[in-house]
């Protein structure tokens, strides 16, 4: 299992992923889920992956090799826009399916892969796509400006509450890290180290790419302070009214009648 989140903001993009893979409680490994494709001044793209590791690694490797082959087939460095880039990734997934799906089925293994592709090509605004196993995809909008793949449910509430398109890159990165902390605490199959990538709008290169492990002081600090703040706010919430005062006589009588 893994957790990846990507946010599209007015000021750029933020990507965060964990690196844990688990095939049982005693088979824990670390594999990076974030790949950067960059040609500074022309384009920058970030690919995140979740699902069957063999499939997603095959797709990522094929995308890399297509950049080095020198042929004229569409690839991430010669596509005209991010929509075509998402099509390249989708076609990579379909090629993997054509090659491996039948063999996987014979071993009762599901063809399962999810990808997020975001970035900017010179001449257009930053764009963000969520790409499914079938190679089809959807694009982020003003109303839905972030995507998650993998173990997404634990980290979703904080993003929904605090992140807006107008948020700064630092604010979005902070929210993403809190979101990841919530996921790590609730699911042992998600864990450190993390990859955090920040891309500024119109800079056409990665602004920051940080690997976060157990020794990262900032992440340790916000994990501790977020937990303390939650406990403090929870303690300040008022108790439910029905626990502070006895129920009216009519309500008590109705309750006894119903239970009888």
Res 73: pLDDT: 87
Q: 3-244 maps to which CATH number?
A: 3.60.20.10
* Residue boundaries of the structural domains of the chain: 3-244
Res 248: pLDDT: 62
Give residue-wise pLDDT tens across range 44-57.
999 999 999 999 99
Q: CA nearest 118: which of 190, 187, 44?
A: 44
Q: State whether the Cα torsion 42-48-49-53 is positive or negative.
A: positive
Could you tell me if 134 and 94 are in contact, meaning their C-beta atoms sit under 8 angstroms apart? yes
Q: Is the peptide bond preceding residue 138 cis, with omega within 30 degrees of 0?
A: no
Could you give the CA distance from residue 97 to residue 100 in angstroms, rounded to a whole number?
5
Residue 247 DSSP symbol: P
- Asked if the model's pLDDT at residue 181 lies above 80, the reply is yes
- The pTM assigned to this predicted structure is 0.90
Q: CA nearest 33: which of 66, 9, 6, 11?
A: 6
Give residue-wise pLDDT tens across range 143-159.
999 999 999 999 999 99
* Contacts (Cβ under 8 Å, ≥6 apart) of 10: 165, 166, 201
Could you tell me if 4 and 16 are in contact, meaning their C-beta atoms sit under 8 angstroms apart? yes
Res 27: pLDDT: 56
**Choice among 53-57, 87-91, 160-164, 237-241 with the minimum mean pLDDT:** 237-241
Q: CA nearest 210: which of 192, 193, 191, 195?
A: 195
- Asked if the model's pLDDT at residue 83 lies above 60, the reply is yes
Q: Residue 184: which pLDDT band, with cuts at 50, 70 and 90?
A: very high
- Asked if the model's pLDDT at residue 108 lies above 60, the reply is yes
Res 23: pLDDT: 47
Mean pLDDT of 187-216: 96
């Amino acid at each position: 299992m893994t957790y990846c989140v990507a946010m599209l903001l007015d000021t750029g993009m933020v990507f965060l992923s964990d690196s844990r893979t688990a095939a049982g409680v005693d088979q824990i490994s670390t594999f990076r889920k974030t790949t950067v494709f960059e040609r500074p001044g022309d384009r920058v793209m970030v690919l995140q992956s979740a699902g069957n590791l063999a499939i997603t690694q095959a797709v990522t490797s094929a995308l890399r090799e297509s950049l080095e082959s020198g042929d004229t087939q569409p690839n991430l460095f010669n596509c005209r826009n991010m929509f075509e880039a998402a099509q390249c990734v989708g076609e990579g997934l379909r090629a993997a399916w054509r090659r491996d799906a039948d063999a996987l089925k014979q071993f009762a293994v599901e063809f399962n892969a999810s990808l997020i592709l975001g970035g900017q090509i010179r001449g257009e605004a930053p764009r963000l796509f969520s790409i499914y196993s079938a190679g089809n995809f959807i694009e982020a909008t003003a109303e839905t400006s972030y995507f998650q793949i993998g173990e997404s449910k634990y980290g979703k509430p904080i993003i929904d509450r605090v992140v807006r398109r107008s948020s700064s890159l630092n604010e979005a990165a902070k929210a993403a890290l809190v979101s990841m902390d919530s996921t790590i605490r609730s699911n042992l199959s998600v864990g450190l180290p993390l990859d955090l990538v920040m891309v500024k709008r119109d800079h056409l290169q990665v602004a920051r790419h940080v690997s976060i492990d157990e020794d990262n002081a900032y992440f340790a600090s916000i994990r501790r302070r977020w937990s303390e703040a939650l406990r403090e706010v929870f303690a300040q919430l008022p108790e439910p009214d029905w626990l502070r005062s006895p129920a009216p006589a009519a309500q008590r009588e109705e309750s006894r009648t119903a239970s009888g």
